[in-house]
């Protein structure tokens, strides 16, 4: 359903407030207001500063642009493994309208479809005996081709790796095979098998409506069907060019390797299509989309768009605050402990200060998924449907409490120590170190993780709460749900009625009292902005 603009009563309330505070007329029998003593003024707590108003839109401040084919090297001689990372400032934002999924399908065809010298089967046969890896990952604005090989096989692997970029086979038969896989990923993977991913995709579509971020990186069903081989060939020439490329090398790197790699990649077109100009994102709040599908649980995602990203001085205190709320798959977070451990509501409750996509085989964020316009988000999943509204209220309640009350000193010290160590795990492989170094070029934040650790040393609970008051907005949240009884959930959300919860075992009085506050906590939702859609329609066109 289309949302309607709501008329605010703020002006009327403001006038009423002014009228009630006027000085009484001279003939009034009311006594004059008491003048507080100097002692009372001295003892009174300082007034909390007014939180700044949310911006009406988050502008698209362009990321930094490295020089064409800028080389990033993390050399070390204590390993025999050479790591490659070719990062193009090219992503799903480059998909033409009606051809959503073109970039991801093109990069998959390049990496898996063979080269001019090797068929797809021969490509696999060549990589296998070298125990070499060759992967590609596409996100909204970036695509990363990564590879790793033992130095004994370096010449052969270098030929193959550069041919994937320079001389992809782009075979019609392989295109049809990979297109079928991509469509199945939407229809049978995203819509049917992965409620968590479906919720995140739905939240992006809601937050970035009308924006190039709005569609799923993997594409839409109709967009994928519309792509031709000529589209793919033209796209390779348009967006995989020298001016969009950063070259990463790690391991036993010498001058000869750097020269050979850069010389070969200089065969790429020098320039292609200009970077996509992204529009501002309106900070519309209070919306919800409920995806209806056969499922035994309810998945919940919530968030809002923020102008804060790496390079902003407030990013580090916000990162600590969201880690305190719920670092990905860690047991330390407030949401994890309050909703799962104390109340047994679900499996996972996590919060993020920026776009998060799990790096396979780890609990860490992927690198090279930078966004011009970032988001703050919270994930709650999976929840028994009867507890869906209570769990949603609980997440917003504890987020709101964090912004209003901050973090107590003991907990703050714990989080600082935890992040001093945990951030070191984020850079434990050559590929991850390369990824962070390349991201730093685009964000303009050199030595990002070391800067984070230094910032932790100087942070205080007060500076973190000040950053939260400036940039954390529970009232700005928008919501995406995946559930079976979508209409029932929509009705419960629109009604605003208390949401009760029953426990199988006794709970202490303090928790039950807090449950009362959670059960009636007002969600920042507009009843007219709650929409129910069938899963089959998500990313259809």
Q: Identify any residues that bridge with 530 across adjacent strands, giving them in sequence order.
A: 288
Asked whether the beta carbons of 231 and 128 are under 8 A apart, the reply is no
Which residue, among 354, 464, 478, 477, has the nearest Cα to 403 in the 3D structure? 464
CATH 3.30.1240.10 matches 70-265: no
What kind and span of H or E run contains 29? none
Collapsing DSSP to helix, strand or coil, 165 comes out as helix
How far is residue 519's CA from residue 449's CA, in Å, rounded to a whole number?
A: 39
Structure tokens at 200: 């995140």
CA separation for the pair 390, 396 (Å, rounded): 10
Per-residue pLDDT, 49: 57
Up-side HSE of residue 59: CA atoms within 13 Å toward CB?
Answer: 3
Give DSSP secondary structure letters for 454-468: HHHHH--HHHHHHHH
In this structure, are residues 302 and 395 in contact, taking their beta carbons and an 8 Å threshold?
A: yes
Supply φ then ψ for residue 414, to 5 degrees: -60, -45
How high is the pLDDT of residue 54?
79
Which sign does the torsion angle of CA 504, 509, 511, 515 carry? Answer: positive
**φ, ψ of residue 153 in degrees (nearest 5):** -110, 15
Burial class (CB in 10 A: 0-12, 13-18, 19+), 395: buried
Confidence (pLDDT) at 53? 75
Q: Residue 198 region, left (φ>0) first, then alpha (ψ -120 to 50), else beta?
A: alpha
End-to-end CA distance of the chain: 18
Count H helices and E strands in the chain, helices first. 19, 13
Q: What's the CA gap between 196 and 211, in Å, rounded?
A: 22
Instruction: Give pLDDT tens digits along the chain (541 positions).
Output: 333 333 332 322 232 233 333 333 333 344 443 444 444 334 444 445 566 677 899 999 999 999 999 999 999 999 999 999 999 999 999 999 999 999 999 999 999 999 999 999 999 999 999 999 999 999 999 999 999 999 999 999 999 999 999 999 999 999 999 999 999 999 999 999 999 999 999 999 999 999 999 999 999 999 999 999 999 999 999 999 999 999 999 999 999 999 999 999 999 999 999 999 999 999 999 999 999 999 999 999 999 999 999 999 999 999 999 999 999 988 999 999 999 999 999 999 999 999 999 999 899 999 999 999 999 999 998 999 999 999 999 999 999 999 999 999 999 999 999 999 999 999 999 999 999 999 999 999 999 999 999 999 999 999 999 999 999 999 999 999 999 999 999 999 999 999 989 999 999 999 999 999 999 999 999 999 999 999 999 999 9
CA-CA distance, 191 to 294, in Å (whole number)? 10
Nearest to 204 by CA among 320, 371, 339: 371
Do β-strands 288-292 and 530-534 pair in parallel, antiparallel, or remain unpaired? parallel
Q: β-strand 245-251 against 281-282: which pairing, if any?
A: unpaired
pLDDT of the residue at 202: 98
Cβ atoms of 244 and 65 within 8 Å: the answer is: no
How many CA within 13 A on the CB side of residue 434?
Answer: 27
CATH 3.30.830.10, the chain: domain bounds: 70-265, 283-537
Rounded-to-10 torsion of CA 501, 504, 508, 511? -30
Three-state DSSP class for residue 478: strand
Contacts of 132 (CB under 8 A, 6+ apart): 147, 148, 149, 150, 153, 157
For residues 396 and 388, the answer to whether their CB atoms sit within 8 Å is no
How far apart CA 300 and CA 196 sit, in angstroms, is 8
Query: What pLDDT, on a 0 to 100 scale, did the predictor assign at position 449?
Result: 97
Give CATH for domain 283-537: 3.30.830.10
Residue 249 has what DSSP assignment?
E
Residue whose structure tokens are 């984020």: 426
DSSP 241: S
């Amino acid at each position: 359903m289309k949302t309607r603009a709501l008329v605010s009563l703020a002006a009327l309330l403001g006038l009423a407030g002014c009228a009630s505070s006027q000085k009484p007329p001279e003939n009034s029998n009311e006594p004059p207001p008491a003048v507080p003593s100097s002692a009372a003024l001295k003892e009174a707590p300082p007034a909390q500063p007014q939180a700044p108003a949310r911006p009406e839109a988050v502008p698209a401040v362009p990321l930094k642009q490295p020089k064409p084919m800028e080389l990033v090297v993390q050399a070390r001689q204590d390993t025999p493994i050479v790591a490659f990372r070719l990062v193009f400032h090219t992503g799903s934002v480059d998909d033409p309208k009606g051809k959503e999924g073109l970039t991801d399908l093109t990069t998959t065809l390049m990496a898996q479809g063979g080269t001019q010298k090797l068929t797809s089967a021969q490509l696999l046969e060549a990589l296998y005996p070298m125990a070499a890896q060759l992967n590609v990952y596409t996100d909204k604005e970036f695509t990363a081709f990564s590879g790793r090989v033992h130095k004994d096989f370096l010449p052969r692997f270098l030929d193959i790796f550069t041919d994937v970029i320079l001389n992809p086979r782009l075979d019609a038969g392989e295109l049809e095979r990979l297109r079928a896989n991509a469509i199945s990923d939407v229809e049978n993977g995203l819509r049917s098998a992965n409620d968590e991913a479906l919720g995140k995709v739905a939240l992006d579509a809601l937050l970035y409506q009308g924006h190039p971020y709005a569609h799923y990186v993997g594409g839409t069903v109709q967009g994928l069907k519309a792509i031709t081989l000529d589209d793919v060939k033209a796209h390779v020439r348009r967006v995989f060019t020298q001016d969009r490329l950063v070259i990463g090398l790690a391991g036993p790197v010498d001058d000869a390797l750097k020269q050979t790699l850069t010389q070969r990649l200089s065969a790429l077109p020098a320039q292609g299509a200009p970077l996509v100009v992204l529009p501002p994102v309106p900070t519309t709040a209070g919306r919800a989309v409920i995806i209806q599908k056969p499922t035994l649980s309810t998945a919940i995602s919530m968030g809002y768009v923020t102008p804060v990203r790496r390079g902003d001085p407030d990013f580090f205190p916000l990162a600590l605050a969201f880690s305190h709320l719920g670092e990905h798959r860690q047991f330390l977070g407030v949401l994890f402990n309050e909703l799962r451990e104390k109340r047994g509501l679900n499996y996972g409750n996590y919060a993020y200060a920026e776009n998060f996509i799990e790096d396979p085989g780890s609990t860490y964020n992927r690198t090279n998924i930078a966004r011009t316009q970032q988001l703050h988000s919270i994930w709650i999943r999976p929840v028994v449907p009867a507890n869906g509204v209570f769990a949603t209220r609980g997440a917003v309640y504890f987020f709101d409490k964090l912004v209003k009350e901050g973090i107590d000193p003991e907990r703050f010290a714990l989080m600082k120590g935890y992040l001093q160590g945990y951030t070191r795990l984020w850079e434990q492989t050559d590929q991850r170190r390369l990824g962070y170094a390349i991201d730093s070029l685009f964000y303009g934040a050199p030595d990002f993780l070391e800067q984070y650790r230094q910032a932790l040393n100087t942070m205080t609970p007060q500076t973190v709460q000040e950053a939260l008051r400036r940039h954390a907005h529970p009232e700005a949240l928008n919501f995406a749900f995946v559930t079976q009884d979508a209409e029932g959930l929509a009705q419960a959300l629109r009604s605003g009625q208390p949401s009760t919860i029953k426990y199988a075992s006794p709970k202490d009085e303090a928790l039950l009292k807090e449950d009362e506050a959670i059960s009636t906590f007002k969600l920042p939702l507009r009843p007219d902005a709650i929409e129910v859609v069938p899963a089959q329609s998500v990313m259809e066109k």
